Structure 1
Amino acid sequence: MFFIESQRLKLIPLTNQLLQLCQSDRREMELLLGLNPSSMEIDPLYATELEDALLHFWIPKTQEFPMLYYWYTNWEIVLKSTNTSIGGIGFVGYPNEKKEAEIGYMIDANEQGKGYATEALKTLSAWAFQQKDVDSVIVRTAHDNIASIKILDKNGFRLVSKVDDLLTYYLPKQ
């Protein structure tokens, strides 16, 4: 099983098979990965977005691009000390023609404020920069998502645009 890790976290990209199992029985998917089952608390808005991503993006795209699945999937954020999933992070597809890889993330409400999203974003960004088709990472967030803006600032991202209430942050390869 492929994964990357940081000091406190393990990031596991889910294959198409794991995503399908997650859709039908998340607990079984976690057990298959050797994890302790989680009981994540997710804001209803994010839960709807995650379900939509699972059905309309992650599952079909990982089936369409099985050799590049890590660009089209959820990466489970696993807290190594408890061997429990505490959120998800991932790309919104293969890097674009400008060699930009876009990342999104979500952390269990019970685990927020502990630096896990900051660490996960740093780890996945570093992995992305090791790939030949990535020269920068971008993240889009709502203008009122202060926690996400702090995470981006801590990782050295810079605000590059605002369209309506959506901010775009940019981090170039060093």
Structure 2
Amino acid sequence: MRKGEQMKLESERLTLVPCTKDVVLSRKFDTPPHIKTYLENLEQDPELLGWGVWIVLVKQSNKIVGDMGFKGKPKNHTVEIGYGILPGEQGKGFATEGVTELINWAFSFDDVHKIQAECHADNKASIRVLEKVHMKVMDQSTSFIYWELDKEEN
């Protein structure tokens, strides 16, 4: 996190804000287990802010449509990205739009050279998102596909 900045990312239709206890309390939404775990970790290490969960809001309505983010701070110049859009909001391009913003944000740091992702091999919607953001398949098992995007190719 850059000191003194109010962290948020904006795309054409979305605003992404890093998940904090204040954000969760002010939005009054049910907190899934991965967010609870992240908030506990953030309390122990405030430098995780930005490298964890981001809440995805539709600009026009300020409605939460999902969450996405990274699975920790950069290690070996690499971060892993993940995302989830609420079922009623899927198929509207929100995942692609938000993931694109997070990729650009992560690559703005000198310490990040690669972004990785994984998805279930039968998750056609997730596969399409990763293709649209120009990730390349690096490996595949019967259950999962493993993806990567290199900063130099972005």
TM value normalised by structure 2: 0.87
Query: Partner letter of residue 84 of structure 1?
Result: K
The reply on whether 1:71 has 2:51 as its aligned counterpart is: yes
Hey, which bits of structure 1, 4+ residues long, moved more than 3 A? none
Contact 1:61/1:69 (CA < 8 Å) preserved in 2? no
User: Higher helix proportion, which one?
Assistant: 1
- Alignment match, 2:118: 140
- Alignment match, 1:119: 97
1:1-174 map, 5 Å: 1-15=6-20, 17-18=21-22, 22=24, 28-30=25-27, 51-55=32-36, 57-72=37-52, 74-97=53-76, 99-174=77-152
Query: Partner letter of residue 14 of structure 1?
Result: C
**Aligned mates of 1:123, 1:88 — CA distance in 2:** 13
**Aligned mates of 1:53, 1:66 — CA distance in 2:** 17
- Alignment match, 1:34: none
Query: Partner letter of residue 49 of structure 2?
Result: Y
1:106 deviates by 0.5
**Aligned mates of 2:81, 2:141 — CA distance in 1:** 18
User: SS of 1:153's equivalent?
Assistant: helix
1:60 deviates by 2.1
Q: Deviation digits for residues 121-152 of structure 1, max 9, x if unmatched?
A: 10100000001210011111000100000011
Contact 2:120/2:143 (CA < 8 Å) preserved in 1? yes
**Aligned mates of 2:141, 2:74 — CA distance in 1:** 21
Aligned length: 147
User: SS of 2:134's equivalent?
Assistant: coil
Q: Higher relative contact order by CA 8 Å / sep ≥ 6: 1 or 2?
A: 1
User: SS of 1:59's equivalent?
Assistant: helix
RMSD, aligned α-carbons: 1.9
1:164 deviates by 4.1
Contact 1:140/1:169 (CA < 8 Å) preserved in 2? yes
Q: Deviation digits for residues 9-34 of structure 1, max 9, x if unmatched?
A: 1100012x336xx3xxxxx4217xxx
Query: Partner letter of residue 86 of structure 1?
Result: V
**Aligned mates of 1:159, 1:2 — CA distance in 2:** 31
- The runs of 5 or more residues in structure 2 that have no matched partner are 1-5
**Aligned mates of 2:106, 2:84 — CA distance in 1:** 18
Query: Partner letter of residue 169 of structure 1?
Result: W
